[in-house]
Amino acid sequence: MDCQYLPLASTGQFSPLFLDYINKKDTLEPFYNRFPELSAFKDQIGEKSFDEGKRRILVDTLDRQYAQITSKPDFSVLLQPNTFTVTTGHQLNIFTGPLYIIYKLITTINLSRQLKEAYPDYNFVPIYWMASEDHDFAEINHFSLFGKNYAWATEQRGAVGRINPQELKTLFNQIPEKLTLFEEAYLNHNTLADAARYYVNELFGAEGLVCLDADDAALKRVFAPVMRDELINQHAGELVVKQTELLENLGYKTVITPRDINLFYLDDQLRERIERKEDGTYRVLHTKLRFSETELLALLDEHPERFSPNVVLRPLYQETILPNLTYIGGPSEVPYWLQLKPVFEHFQTTFPILMPRNFAMYVPTVSAKRVRKLGLTPEELFKDTLLLKREFVETHARHTLKFDNENKVVNKALDSILHKAQMVDPTLERAVLAETKRFANAVARLEKKMRRAEEHNQEIGVRQLLAVKNELFPNGGLQERSENFLTFYLNDRKFLQKMLSVFDPFDYRMQLCLE
């Protein structure tokens, strides 16, 4: 593949906070621990501590979760004190969801490889943290294949990882392509988490990627002291509010808003917020569940799996149960992690290195030929469609489409006419200026007609230009945020390997991959 690169700022697709972070703006240094560059991992390794007992719980959990998978990774390496993880996470979007989720996984795999080359005395395991406890089903229930949208409707509720995916059989009947891997995943497993683990392992297990489902009693027990503190003292919300104010005082828009209690109550078909009432009792919103403090803490001791951290505490949960060095996230994730550092400091947990995932636009063979034929640069591809079309027509026109030189001559003559008219009668100035304006409007109309005529002359080129733009920017947005990897994988089984071969996890630019 021919890879071309473009600064993310030139795409017009990313927030100032994210761009300033990847550009190492000085004012943001207090909001993170170490900047994501290869040399920073030496000190990160030195700072991260993770005891043997936690490693054993982690490995036992993974062995249990992978019990039904035959070709599973070797988890025993995680028992070694010189083994660390690099992690990305995402919701369990059906059929993997948009391309960028695949790109996150590839970035994580490639980072573990580069770290092994740079630090051969250590082992690095890429982790996919499955957001199985998330309950926003509307965000995961659809995907786009070859430009057509497919959606899953269900009456099931609660944490999406616990939902039974066998209802997707009706969706397979709507999809013309035969998707064997996903049929095996969804129709032969009883939970969405198990199904996702199966297909991700089939796609990337050979690359060493490990899927972790943190909706687990043993893992929650490790995190229970933090959840107890949250129920009693509610430190996290206050800390995030103060950090958020500091970011907003610098002019940034922030992503997340903390709660007084940043925990959900989790049970089958249920994930609802826990609130503390003025009388000191607790309630689970939209239910009849009520607890005294003693009752709720006893429940935490007996069933820690019934408590689920929200966006404020989930990152801390991750860093508590993994020997983790870095989190690989997207343009919304990295900014919200910048709101969380004081929470890590309060609980004396190492704040991970925050790494942006790779950003890419894949240009298939047909479109790549058109891009080369039309002479389009990466900068031009990201321009507004109307502006790009106009500039393309003007560039390829055999004759100039503007009357710049003619206007100079005419304007000079009009100035002379105005001067003479004023000498004869000063009141004629308004009439001359009115005629001048009418002339300018007439010229503008003529230019527009000439441009339309030239667009007609260049109809083939313009049509090809718009076809490329529409394919690479579905519905006007980035390809990676809407199109599914199957759109390309079904036509080229080497697609994933190609992306693995060209992604550099330390290159924070938009990458155009032309076949």
Please tell me the distance from the alpha carbon of residue 327 to that of residue 174, in angstroms, as a whole number.
37
89, 105, 161 from 130: Cα distances, Å: 6, 11, 8
Token pair of 238 as six digits: 């206050």
User: Which pLDDT score is estimated for 401?
Assistant: 47
Task: Tell me if 475 sits within 8 A of 482, measured CB to CB.
Answer: yes
Task: Tell me if 120 sits within 8 A of 167, measured CB to CB.
Answer: no
Please tell me the distance from the alpha carbon of residue 112 to that of residue 106, in angstroms, as a whole number.
10
Question: Which pLDDT tens digits describe the chain residue by residue (515 residues)?
Answer: 899 999 999 999 999 999 999 999 999 999 999 999 999 999 999 999 999 999 999 999 999 999 999 898 999 999 999 999 999 999 999 999 999 999 999 999 999 999 999 999 999 999 999 999 999 999 999 999 998 999 999 999 999 999 999 999 999 999 999 999 999 999 999 999 999 999 999 999 999 999 999 999 999 999 999 999 999 999 999 999 999 999 999 999 999 999 999 999 999 999 999 999 999 999 999 999 999 999 999 999 999 999 999 999 999 999 999 999 999 999 999 999 999 999 999 999 999 999 999 999 999 999 999 999 989 999 999 999 989 888 877 776 665 545 666 667 677 777 887 778 788 788 878 887 888 788 778 777 766 766 676 566 567 788 888 889 999 999 899 999 999 999 999 999 999 999 999 999 999 999 999 99
User: Which pLDDT score is estimated for 242?
Assistant: 98
Please tell me the distance from the alpha carbon of residue 265 to that of residue 273, in angstroms, as a whole number.
6
Residue 273: beta bridge partners?
264
Residue 267: beta bridge partners?
270
Token pair of 278 as six digits: 């003025």
Pick from 99, 226, 94, 113: nearest CA to 170: 94
How many other CB atoms are found less than 10 A from the CB of residue 136? 11
| Phi, psi for 32 (deg, rounded to 5) | -140, 175
Residue at token pair 């969804």: 186
Sheet containing 2-7, strands listed edge to edge, beginning at the edge strand earlier in sequence: 2-7, 509-514, 359-363
| Phi, psi for 93 (deg, rounded to 5) | -55, 135
| Phi, psi for 359 (deg, rounded to 5) | -115, 135
Residue 150: beta bridge partners?
143
User: Which pLDDT score is estimated for 430?
Assistant: 85
Pick from 192, 208, 203, 187: nearest CA to 62: 208
CA-based radius of gyration for the chain: 29
Please tell me the distance from the alpha carbon of residue 119 to that of residue 41, in angstroms, as a whole number.
9
Task: Tell me if 511 sits within 8 A of 360, measured CB to CB.
Answer: yes
Please tell me the distance from the alpha carbon of residue 146 to that of residue 140, in angstroms, as a whole number.
18
Q: What is residue 252's three-state secondary structure?
A: coil
Residue at token pair 């949250």: 230
Task: Tell me if 485 sits within 8 A of 102, measured CB to CB.
Answer: yes
Task: Tell me if 167 sits within 8 A of 141, measured CB to CB.
Answer: no
Residue 435, amino acid: E
98, 99, 175, 514 from 148: Cα distances, Å: 13, 15, 10, 23
- Domain locations along the chain: 400-457
Q: What letter would DSSP give residue 129?
A: E
User: Which pLDDT score is estimated for 391?
Assistant: 80
User: Could you write out the DSSP letters of every residue in 385-413?
Assistant: HHHHHHHHHHHH-SS-S--HHHHHHHHHH
Token pair of 135 as six digits: 């309950």
Look up the pTM and report it.
Answer: 0.89
